[in-house]
Homo-oligomer: A and B are copies of this chain.
Amino acid sequence: MITQKASAILERIREENPLIHCITNYITVNDCANILLSAGASPAMCDALDEAYDFARISAALYINFGTYIKEQEAAAAAAALGAKSAGRPIVVDPVGCAAIPRRTGILDRLHELAGVSLVKGNMGEIMALAGKKAGVKGVDSDGAIPGIEEAVLETARKYGCVVAATGKIDIISDGNRMARISNGVPMLTKITGAGCMTGALCAAAAAVARDRDEMFAAAVAAVSVMGIAGEMAGEKADLPGSFRTALIDAVYGITGKTLLERGKIECEKI
């Protein structure tokens, strides 16, 4: 049921070609743009302070990623969030590094107060940090299973009243009422930079075509499972990280709703 909904969301990205306004880090921004194009969305990075508000209003969704958050980006993100809110567009946040840099949890809180966040995507250490739990995470990476992660996802979803996705060996997604577990993916996704950021960007593309809050949950499931499936497909072509990264973008270009139905390893339960 959730898989069918996620599949439909994925098809809709290619039909509607949504414009995704990204305010993201300069490390993986090129990968984010290319993965959005491969998925059928139209990326635009606009983080000049005096352009962000208006640009968010003409976009279908806003993606904010804290990876390298210089002052002008931080101010532009606030302006863009207000623009997205005024136009009724979803805001997707990837609070990169909030486990290692506590200030970033505060930035998410302020964005949420300002404009309301629709979807938060982080790795397990980041979502643990948002839920106020310790996870023993080094730097910005965390991908193993962490005890207490399901509770952390649920609590964070209820705290912000939004969908929350924690990526790891098994990805956990909740909207506060349901919990999905996705077991697609391969370890090589942790040996390149950008897999998390690209997942966040795909979340924004999926959120852009979600019709209501119910579909926002399916949107997160669609985006997260697409990256896992793409990782598996890339792993069949390439076993070294440089080649794998190229194969990953190639793979997303070929993934359709049908691929998701065939390869998605998605479980979902009411809670």
Contact = CB atoms under 8 A, between A and B. Distances in A.
A44 B139 contact: yes
A45 B68 contact: yes
A42 interface: yes
Contacts of A29: 26-27
Interface in A136-179: 138-141
Interface stretch (A31-39, A77-85, A262-270): A31-39
A243 B246 contact: yes
Nearest to A58: B100
The 8 closest A-B pairs by CB, nearest first: A242-B249, A240-B250, A33-B193, A242-B246, A19-B139, A242-B250, A26-B26, A44-B139
A47 B70 contact: yes
A135 interface: no
A49 interface: yes
A133 interface: no
A211 interface: no
Contacts of A34: 192-193, 241-242, 245
B242 A55 contact: no
Contacts of A114: none
A47 to B, nearest CB: 6
A33 B241 CA distance: 12
Contact of A50 (B26, B28, B43, B103): B103
Given A44-B97, A58-B100, A68-B47, A19 B253 contact: no
B247 A55 contact: no
A72 interface: yes
Contact of A51 (B33, B44, B101, B248): B101
B27 A59 contact: no
A45 B27 contact: yes
A97 B52 CA distance: 12
A177 B210 CA distance: 50
A254 B239 CA distance: 11
Contacts of A47: 68, 70
Contacts of A245: 34, 242, 246, 249
